[in-house]
Amino acid sequence: MGAAATNDDEEFEFGVDTTSTKKARTSSSQGAPSTSTTNAGNKSSPADASVVFSPELLAMYYSRLFPYHMLYSWLSYDPATAKPGNNAKAGSSLGSACTFPRREFSMTIEPQPGNEVYIRYQSFLSQDELMEAIQKRRPVKIDIGAVFNYPPKDNKSLPSGKLQTQERELVFDIDLTDYDDVRNCGCSGAKICGKCWKFMGMAIKVMDEGLRKDFGFKNLAWFYSGRRGVHCWVCDESARKLSNDARSAVASYFEVDLGSEKNKNFHITSPVHPTLSRAYRVLEPEFVKDVLPEEGHGIMSSRKMWTKLLTTLPESCMSVADKLDKKWQKENSTPREKWVELKKGIMTLIGKTGHAKAQKNLSNSERVKIEHWPMETVFRYTYPRLDINVSKMQNHLLKSPFCVHPKTGRVCVPIEVDSADCFDPFAVPTLAQLMTELDDYEAENGKDESIEDWQKTSLKGPFENFQKKFLKPLLDEERRILRERREMSIASW
């Protein structure tokens, strides 16, 4: 892979997306678009009724449902595009300031089944050009890269090293694959279920709050990645302009070393940083609700499971553990009650419960261990596990929202943060479903040209939410910034 780890602004190499594990791609070399082929493919035949994805369905999706205008309007950061219909004028209101024509797109196409070709350095002057290319090529996957100093499609005619990244949204990628060691639901790898998906909801909450409160970012968009994870796009101007160093720093700020499969002893340093304390306040209730009980990951639902948890306690808590183990065997308390009891039990040892006296013979470090144990336990299960390499570089490609995942046939729909914990990946429409919905709508209402085709399907909810909660505030802010700059330049005359 061509992903390069360099922290210097002036140097750049092109990172190839690492979100995909199923394809072995040859790396693309700097300065030349590369194509490579693999033999991974869809074996299913289009005639199969249960088929969720096929080239025909995809062609249909791209011609009728793909929200070109939304994507264009967003990526051009141009308030003039706020109304549909203003789409053909490529950045006319901004002239060269418009970044859309200098944005890299890359496409994975499948000219023959089982033969994937990866094309980098595509760029488009306008929404129409983008639409034309997508409809012609029918990519199974579209990636979005950085905004460069020149249109990246010209890269062959530019001297090598001339093409440099200028800006790019700050992006985060969280995959359930990275949670394998705590997924007691039986899932691993790309397989997911409602139980382990809860981890994604929790990760979204923590990251969203952290990015907003700590870093002051306002325009955040979350998307389902189509299979087993979520993506976050931070679109504030200040975020888009961040250097690679700054991206790395932000990513490390959120990264907590949770220890590895072998070495489960990770420890939070004392004092606990405010951002971690806040994450704990968010995560603990979720942990109690969705991880502890049988219908979650069951880590306190049976004696076998709770003994496993109790052995992770610091040594000085073993007397408490024994007592509780015996007690729990006799009574029929809920996991929540057990958790509360356990926390209270060990906190008594260090005198944090108010009435009880602290044990005098505890060393300071042992005290800290006990105090941090609940937080460490909660974090081990629920703290966001970022693929930070995706976030570190301006030119790292990330799958475009609104794409369709070829393996699941599901659309990469926007996720609304406020209801992220209710988001159900299995309710996301597949291509086949969308086609049925379209047919049903038209059977009932006839062909209606006044609204977009996606508004006739279950994409309506998430897409309109995206427009209302993300796109509109974003463009409003861009408009405000533009006006301020104009006033500034007039004032400075």
Which residues are the active-site residues? 104, 173, 175
The angle at the Cα of 354, spanning 352 to 356, to the nearest 5 degrees, equals: 85
Dihedral sign computed on CA atoms, order 291, 297, 301, 304: negative
Contact pick of 242, 300, 370, 471 for other proteins (by CB under 8 A): 242
User: Using CB under 8 A as the criterion, what x/- string covers residues 177-196 for binding other proteins?
Assistant: --------------------
Compute CA distances 286 → 22, 296, 302, 382, whole Å. Answer: 32, 10, 19, 9
- The whole-angstrom separation of Cα 469 and Cα 104 is 26
Q: Does 215 bind other proteins (CB under 8 A)?
A: yes
> Least distance from C-beta 377 to other proteins, angstroms?
20
Bin 56: left if φ > 0, else alpha if -120 < ψ < 50, else beta.
Answer: alpha
User: Using CB under 8 A as the criterion, what x/- string covers residues 6-35 for binding other proteins?
Assistant: --xxxx------------------------
Q: Does 114 bind other proteins (CB under 8 A)?
A: no
Which residue do the tokens 């890359």 mark?
106
- The whole-angstrom separation of Cα 265 and Cα 261 is 10
Contact pick of 5, 249, 422, 451 for other proteins (by CB under 8 A): 249
Q: Which stretch binds other proteins (CB under 8 A): 99-107, 109-117, 213-221, 322-330?
A: 213-221
Q: Does 246 bind other proteins (CB under 8 A)?
A: yes
Nearer to other proteins, 253 or 441 (CB): 253
- The whole-angstrom separation of Cα 480 and Cα 167 is 20
Q: Does 217 bind other proteins (CB under 8 A)?
A: yes
Q: Which stretch binds other proteins (CB under 8 A): 131-139, 211-219, 394-402, 443-451?
A: 211-219
> Least distance from C-beta 245 to other proteins, angstroms?
6
Nearer to other proteins, 274 or 461 (CB): 274
Q: Does 5 bind other proteins (CB under 8 A)?
A: no
Q: Which stretch binds other proteins (CB under 8 A): 185-193, 249-257, 366-374, 430-438?
A: 249-257
Contact pick of 180, 237, 245, 322 for other proteins (by CB under 8 A): 245
> Least distance from C-beta 164 to other proteins, angstroms?
12
> Least distance from C-beta 240 to other proteins, angstroms?
13
Contact pick of 28, 106, 248, 430 for other proteins (by CB under 8 A): 248
Nearer to other proteins, 53 or 217 (CB): 217
Q: Does 473 bind other proteins (CB under 8 A)?
A: no
Contact pick of 128, 214, 341, 366 for other proteins (by CB under 8 A): 214
- The whole-angstrom separation of Cα 274 and Cα 256 is 13
Q: Which of residues 412-451 bind other proteins (CB under 8 A)?
A: none
Tokens of 316: 């000085």
Contact pick of 44, 64, 253, 421 for other proteins (by CB under 8 A): 253
B/e letters for 118-145, b = 16+ CB within 10 Å, e = fewer, are bbbbbbbebbebbbebbeebbbbbbbbb
Q: Which of residues 254-293 bind other proteins (CB under 8 A)?
A: 269-277
- The whole-angstrom separation of Cα 357 and Cα 335 is 27
Amino acid at 481: I
Classify 290 as helix, strand or coil: helix
> Least distance from C-beta 274 to other proteins, angstroms?
5
Of 161, 233, 173, the C-alpha closest to 14 is: 161
Nearer to other proteins, 65 or 211 (CB): 211
> Least distance from C-beta 269 to other proteins, angstroms?
5
> Least distance from C-beta 9 to other proteins, angstroms?
8
Tokens of 261: 């499969």
Amino acid at 413: V
Nearer to other proteins, 252 or 265 (CB): 252
Q: Give the number of residues in contact with other proteins, rule: CB under 8 A.
A: 28
Q: Does 365 bind other proteins (CB under 8 A)?
A: no
- The whole-angstrom separation of Cα 469 and Cα 471 is 6
- Point out which residues bind other proteins (CB under 8 A): 8-11, 213-217, 238, 242-243, 245-246, 248-250, 252-253, 269-277
